[in-house]
Amino acid sequence: MPTYEEVRERFERENRMNIFEQAVEDACQKIMRQTDYNKDVSLEKLKEHDLDIIEIVREWMGAPTKKETKRTTNQMVFAEFRSFLDEAANKYYKKKEAEENRKAYIQAAAAAELKRRQALAEEGRSRASTLETVQEVSDEQKSPSNSSDDNISPNPDEKH
């Protein structure tokens, strides 16, 4: 962040000091409205805090200042690399857990189906295949009043 003097010099080079002075005056007014500082103190605080009004008000309120630690490029690269790898690892473990849950569900469903089939076999109503089950259901759905459908066979090779 540029200092107060750097900003002032830039505006002087561009022959725009009236804009700079107006901006500083407005900042002083804001500081005086938010604090009990007078114009001289608010101008000094602006210079001290490099035109950061929020930092001046925080200091006046006694709130802790937020100081960002300067990190080198290498530190930033490695931090980004670690976050990328952490995210990839989290995705992997979530996917692995979902797969384990899916396998457990399939095993439980298969065990329930096996138990159901064993119960049917014990009752003597074992059904050998799905095709036979479909044929039995279709036979049960045929109505005896519809005589033209009686000649239709589920097996096309079968002759009446």
Instruction: Supply 35's token pair.
Output: 């604090």
Which tokens sit at 19?
A: 């804009």
Residues 53, 71 contacting (CB under 8 angstroms):
no
For residues 78 and 85, what is the distance between their CA atoms, to the nearest angstrom?
10
What confidence category does residue 80 fall into, taking pLDDT thresholds of 50, 70 and 90?
A: very high
DSSP letter string over 101-136? HHHHHHHHHHHHHHHHHHHHHHHT-----HHHHHHH
pLDDT in tens, 25-35: 999 999 999 99
Mean pLDDT, range 120-137, rounded to an integer: 61
Residue located via tokens 């080079």: 13
pLDDT for 28: 93
Name residue 2's amino acid: P
| Per-residue pLDDT band at 112 (split at 50, 70, 90) | very high
* Cα–Cα distance measured from residue 76 to residue 145, given in angstroms and rounded to the nearest whole number: 83
